[in-house]
Amino acid sequence: MAIKPKLSERAAERNMAELEPAYRPQEATVEADRCLYCFDAPCIHSCPTGIDIPGFIKKIANDNVTGAARTILRANVLGASCARVCPTEVLCEGACVLLDRDETPIKIGRLQRYATDHAYESALPLLHAPAKKSGKRVAIIGGGPAGLSCAAELAQLGHEAVIYERHQKAGGLNTYGIAYYKMKPAVALAEVRLVQSLGVEILTGTEVGKDVPGDEILNCYDAVFLAIGLGATYSLGIPGEDLPGVVEALAFIEELRMNPLDEVAVGDHVAVIGCGNTAIDAATQAKRLGANRVTIVYRRGPEDMPAFEYEYELAKTDGVEFLFHTQPVEVLGSKAGGLEGLRMVRTEPDANGRPQNVAGSEFDVPFDMVIKALGQQKLGDVIAKIFPGITIDKRGSIERDFATGITKHGSIYAGGDAANGGSEVVDAVAEGKRAAAAMHASFTGEAPEKLVQTTRLGTPDGATGAGIDKPVRVVELERAFRAGEASNG
């Protein structure tokens, strides 16, 4: 057993190819033509960035793909990555009215990809920053989706935005942390260039609080947007965790995104600890890169896993094995200092449903690689030291007003994972956009123009065009609907 690259370049590229290939033109128009062009459509309500989805799909059907891309990118500057990584099943596609007619929603994500691919391939300038500048300057801490979105929105509203990014490349998890078969790094980097083309300056390799003090930032800018994301993976807190061969899931994914696939080392039998979407990403990619066996170890049962249902299905299809109700208690090392496996115990839920270790149930399984995917630590305490005046909630996230992103410090706004605790790329984009709109309002006293479909009677606050607070879990909705039907008799 050894951790080493397993596959040839060709085999690795084939295994890691995108799950859903790009539409050919006629595929796209045939699919687009299925769209009913709903008025005040549920898919728009279910998109945190409020993209006019029926509008852009109608444009694809009408052979106006450039216009479709314009509609998407104006609402969501990271439309190309969202097209690939959004959990559309629980967002727009989960709200598609066709589910209730013939059970096949419009493939909104793939159509969005078709339109945005066209925009990047044609290199048409679809977004513009006005020539007349407001003179207002905003520092954006973190160049991930929230930061890029906020910067792009500010630039389009005539304000100057400067992004401070501690990594060598901007894009955040879109660049470093998305499963390769969902999106290649080049897509994320092209989006970074689109944001730069609006005049946004990105200072990479620059860590605020280390390379630049927080007070200097506050002195030099009219507002600050904190979009610092999350920190390192939580540790297991068990003996042997420092052994070679124990890696963080995000480090593993970053390695495979930043290096040729045939140079990425994986073990023969890989354990992945945790069962969120990142755990699934790590497990399926380890398998696709040639690991003989991959086992996900989770202390609760399948019904409790944070991963989306279709991610679980994907892992099973890829041959990933699952050890549920199991908790690692020790990483076992060999005398030579190598990794031999995991000692684990069975768990049982207590009266509150919390898993408790079952005494005497220890068992050992040999592994030569252990990937930790226990979720990322919150950076609230770290950032609060750099920017005194903001407040941190009890979960460690930056406290801010949901609608505007403003923190207790009146010039500092926050969004993305650092504020919402860890959510989808599209949520980060929406929060960046909302914060930019709030800053614009504070700078100018004017609200930015909203892209909404109006009705004579108006629509409920917050929904249309503005996006909703959290993803619509279709399963939950259906359950609620059925329960409602049952109680209504």
Residues that bind another protein (CB under 8 A): 29-30, 33-34, 36-42, 45-46, 61, 94-101, 455-457, 459-460, 463, 468, 472, 474, 477-478, 480-481, 484-485, 488
3 state SS for 89-120: HHCHHHHCHHHHCCCCCCCHHHHHHHHHHHHH
Q: Which is nearer to another protein, 237 or 484 (CB)?
A: 484
Tokens of 237: 């807190």
Q: For 141, phi and psi rounded to 5 degrees?
A: -95, 105
Q: Which is nearer to another protein, 204 or 459 (CB)?
A: 459
Q: Which is nearer to another protein, 34 or 167 (CB)?
A: 34
C-alpha distances (whole Å) from 87 to each of 107, 108, 165, 236 are 12, 11, 26, 28
Q: Which is nearer to another protein, 29 or 411 (CB)?
A: 29
Least CB distance to another protein at residue 484 (A): 3
Least CB distance to another protein at residue 85 (A): 22
Tokens of 110: 């793939």
Q: Which is nearer to another protein, 42 or 267 (CB)?
A: 42
- Please state, in angstroms and rounded to a whole number, the distance separating the CA atoms of residues 429 and 425: 6
Q: Which is nearer to another protein, 394 or 456 (CB)?
A: 456
Q: Which of 145, 121, 125 is nearest to 22 (CA)?
A: 121
Q: Which is nearer to another protein, 41 or 72 (CB)?
A: 41
Least CB distance to another protein at residue 403 (A): 16
Q: Which is nearer to another protein, 40 or 207 (CB)?
A: 40
Amino acid 313 reads E
For the chain, helix, strand, coil in percent to 5 are: 40, 15, 45
Q: Which is nearer to another protein, 1 or 451 (CB)?
A: 451
- Please state, in angstroms and rounded to a whole number, the distance separating the CA atoms of residues 418 and 234: 15
Name residues whose C-beta falls within 8 Å of residue 476's C-beta, 6 or more positions apart in sequence. Answer: none
Tokens of 178: 């998305």
Least CB distance to another protein at residue 469 (A): 12
Least CB distance to another protein at residue 89 (A): 12
The vertex-105 CA angle with 65 and 472, nearest 5°, equals 105
- The rounded radius of gyration (Å) of the Cα atoms in the chain is 23
Least CB distance to another protein at residue 65 (A): 16
Least CB distance to another protein at residue 459 (A): 7
Tokens of 299: 């202390």
C-alpha distances (whole Å) from 480 to each of 94, 178, 392 are 15, 32, 34
Q: Which is nearer to another protein, 238 or 468 (CB)?
A: 468
Least CB distance to another protein at residue 303 (A): 22
Q: Which is nearer to another protein, 37 or 363 (CB)?
A: 37
Least CB distance to another protein at residue 55 (A): 13
* CB of 61 closer than 8 Å to CB of 114: no
Least CB distance to another protein at residue 19 (A): 24
Name residues whose C-beta falls within 8 Å of residue 389's C-beta, 6 or more positions apart in sequence. Answer: 407, 408, 409, 412
Name residues whose C-beta falls within 8 Å of residue 151's C-beta, 6 or more positions apart in sequence. Answer: 138, 140, 161, 163, 195, 198, 200, 432, 436
DSSP single-letter state for residue 357: E
Least CB distance to another protein at residue 426 (A): 16
- Please state, in angstroms and rounded to a whole number, the distance separating the CA atoms of residues 379 and 178: 20
